[in-house]
Amino acid sequence: MEAQGRLFLCLYLSQFAQGFAHTFVYMLRDDPGQGYWGFIHTNYTMKPSGEMMHRLTTVLADTGSETDLTALSAGLDYTIAAQPETMHDKLFVKSSGVFELAVWSERAGGAADAVEVDLGAVYSTVKVYDPTSSARPRTFSNVRKVPLAFNGFHAVVVEVRPADLLL
């Protein structure tokens, strides 16, 4: 069931990065007669895939008013050196100006990848959310580069606040 959640995270991020306005799974809740593809068990308890998706959408949620995100997106000059072909990234900018950098690996077979995200400047606080394991982020202090490790299908979100930029 964890594999289903990891696959769904990568599916949704990949579809969004490619410009798809809508992506959905066939079922929200499992059905013994039709299959077990949903985010919720037949007894209405959350499956690991549902918990993972909830964590991802909670981090990416933006309830602020709309703003011109085009100008803000130029403010995070990040790079990912030695990024494998199976690894992808998408920068989101919230209306508050907070950057959410989604990075995900679609490497099959469980092979491990390690990369380093260079944020282009030093920030006092950078948070890394791993929706596959916890709602709590790992926090890095006074960093320019953030190490990320992936094992097979895996997605993380790197959160950077422009106010935390150290000059």
pLDDT score, position 144 = 96
Q: Where are the domains of the chain?
A: 2-60, 69-164
d(CA 164, CA 113): 28
- The arithmetic mean of pLDDT across residues 82-105, rounded, is 92
Q: Residue for token digits 């097979």?
A: 152
What global pTM score does this model have?
Answer: 0.89
| 2: confidence class by pLDDT, cuts 50, 70, 90 | confident
d(CA 43, CA 20): 32
The closest of 41, 160, 54, 30 to 103, measured between CA atoms, is 160
- Residue 58, classed as helix, strand or coil, is helix
The closest of 167, 113, 123, 114 to 145, measured between CA atoms, is 123
Domain range 69-164, CATH architecture: Sandwich (2.60)
Whether 30 shows a pLDDT value over 70: the answer reads yes
Task: For 95-150, write each residue's pLDDT tens digit.
Answer: 888 999 999 999 887 668 899 999 999 999 999 999 999 999 999 999 999 999 98
- The arithmetic mean of pLDDT across residues 8-34, rounded, is 87
